[in-house]
Structure 1
Amino acid sequence: MINALNRKSIMTLFADPVCHYSHRARFILCEKSASAEVEFVDSKEFPEDLQELNPYGTLPILIDRDLALFNSRIIMEYLDERFPHPPLYPIDPVSRARSRLLIHRIDQDWYTLLDDIVNAGEKKAAKAKKLLRENLIASIPLFESNKYFLSDEFTLVDGVLAPLLWRLPLYGIELPKEAKAIKDYIARVTKRDTFQESMSKEELDMMESHILMAS
């Protein structure tokens, strides 16, 4: 086995300090109060031993004994099963499948746009910002119906959504007054102790810099 796997005696999450996919994995790790280490890695300087764990060269990567997982969604689902209390997915198969489908749609419809905002050229990023804002506005009724996203209890879906929505002001995406339900939801989820605990120093600095610039 490679060095990164051999040297870890406890569960370890290798995560980028600013990437939204790493953030959502960190958030669920905190929600589960798992005994684990988080090691921050600059994804632009991807270590060779981690490359052997993930041939795609992406973060996050979770190591648990002799198991190595990549892809944030797979990691979050593993954490929910590895630490079953409290469950973040519904117990019954039908509701669980619906939640998985909902997360898939969030990834396809919203996270792909966030990826373009972060990584694409100026023109494509501007188009992605506009489209993401429009998609969120169209979803206002979904945020109005329950305390959390389509549920009265915090679920894995909220763990997926929160890091994306927290980043909206950082990328200049302002929601209109009629989106109060979304703004209330963002405040409710991001004020959770576990969300605050999940943030890296770099993320805290990003938001602080944004607030100072906006004031």
Structure 2
Amino acid sequence: MLLYEHPLSSYTQKVKIALREKGVAFAAELPESFGTGRSDGPFAQANPRTEVPVLVDGALSIFESTVILEYVEERWPEPALLPRDPAKRALARMIEEICDTQYEAVNWGFGEILWFRRATGALADRLRAEAAAQTAVLQGWLAARLGDAPWFGGEVFGWADAAAAPMVNRSVHYGLGPADGSPLARWHARIRERPSVAETFREFDAAAARMAEASELYTTGGRRREYRDHRLEWMVKSGGVEVVLAGLRDGNIRFPWPDAGQS
């Protein structure tokens, strides 16, 4: 079992937590061509979008984190991550959807400023403020779904916890975590103690500590950050259209496959 990954990818972290919860052994590999947009090599053959994660199980290659999570749940049904009750299953999937789209976009946008210095001065201040305000809204929404329960699924760790864990943890890393003593903060403290999550978060922390060294690759064009769907929307709606235009001008951002003009 091979997992093409990047330890900072929230989508990858979600999959690693699920695999570890189920006791599935896997080898993790950062593709050599990650972030370049190159269409050659085994990584691009496994996923033409050249995005992580990609799970390779024998001759089968699966991309898109939700599809991978569904495959893992069906291939290794125990312990189950999705609850049996249809309403609770729907809630778990909605939480994952919000985390994968709106929440990921805010975290990603904040990282563009913090790690890659896409904006400075007043523009950077504005984007950071927008990210902080939107993070508070998203954490409020999650807190309402959590309530007083230990996990999003109630008494049992599950699908929604695996999906929300990387998002909330990245906010904490950015200094935008939930208020001390709040139910969501207590949930974050609790989830950090879970072995599957603790190992995944250790890998995140180690990679985050090296981001300052790697950031130049993404601003000189050696690698290019992907401005896909919700990420592009976040940057534009939050006032960062100048960032997008500068990235296009300097050739250090990219958009998803297929590229413009690609046959």
TM-score tier (shorter): 0.7 to 0.9
Once the two structures are superposed, the pairs formed by residues 20-169 of structure 1 within 5 Å of their partners are 20-41=10-31, 43-45=34-36, 48-49=40-41, 50-119=43-112, 121=118, 122=124, 123-137=126-140, 139-169=142-172
RMSD: 2.6
Partners of 2:172 and 2:87 in 1: CA distance: 35
SS of structure 1 residue aligned to 2:51: coil
Would the alpha carbon gap of residues 82 and 46 (structure 1) be closer, same or farther in structure 2, given more than 3 Å must change? farther
Q: 1:180 maps to which residue?
A: 182
**Structure 1, unpaired ranges of 5+:** 1-10, 210-215
Are the equivalent residues in 2 in contact too, given 1:30–1:197 (CA < 8 A)?
A: no
Would the alpha carbon gap of residues 171 and 99 (structure 1) be closer, same or farther in structure 2, given more than 3 Å must change? same
Task: Tell me whether 50-59 or 111-120 shows the greater mean CA deviation.
Answer: 111-120
Partners of 1:93 and 1:144 in 2: CA distance: 19
TM-score by length of 2: 0.66
Are the equivalent residues in 1 in contact too, given 2:11–2:65 (CA < 8 A)?
A: yes
Q: Look at both structures and tell me which one has the larger radius of gyration over its CA atoms.
A: 2
Would the alpha carbon gap of residues 207 and 167 (structure 1) be closer, same or farther in structure 2, given more than 3 Å must change? farther
Would the alpha carbon gap of residues 161 and 206 (structure 1) be closer, same or farther in structure 2, given more than 3 Å must change? same
Once the two structures are TM-superposed, the CA of residue 183 in structure 1 deviates from its matched residue by 1.0
| Paired residue total | 198
Q: 1:5 maps to which residue?
A: none
SS of structure 2 residue aligned to 1:89: coil
Identity of aligned residues (%): 23
